[in-house]
Homo-oligomer: A and B are copies of this chain.
Amino acid sequence: MSQRTQELTDAEWAIIQMVWEHEPVPAPTVQELLEEQRGWSYSTVKTLMDRMVKKGLLTTERIRNLMLYTSAITRQEAQSKEILKTLKRAFEGALTPMMQFLLESDHITHSELDELEALIRAKKSK
């Protein structure tokens, strides 16, 4: 059980985000947190979370009758995996074209550009 290098599905992303922010957290709380955003019923959330435990994405600890869920992978790990997937699939592994694409997409503000410039400069001087 639980070979990690799993990919997260969309539903799993929604859930694990909440877990990262609130862990250790019981399923009902996660359901409430996602109510608005997704409109999932308790059953749905609980089912998803239990599947995630089986996959090794979350772990549980039982306190009396309450199950508390905790993430089993870090946000960084998950982000990294996700980005690499996109990089491989859509850009055939080439990082610069992907960055370029991001820059060119119109969703970037002037101040974000400044920030990035600073980041690059910092990176270069290292």
Segment 43-95 of A: residues with Cβ below 8 Å from B: 76, 78-80, 82-83, 85-86, 89-92, 95
B103 contacts A13, CB within 8 Å? no
Chain B hits for A29, CB < 8 A: none
Pick 30 A–B contacts, CB within 8 A, sort by A. A8-B89, A10-B89, A13-B89, A76-B101, A78-B90, A79-B90, A80-B101, A82-B86, A82-B90, A83-B90, A83-B98, A83-B101, A83-B102, A86-B86, A95-B102, A95-B108, A95-B112, A96-B112, A96-B115, A96-B116, A98-B102, A99-B119, A103-B119, A103-B120, A108-B123, A113-B123, A113-B124, A116-B120, A117-B124, A120-B120
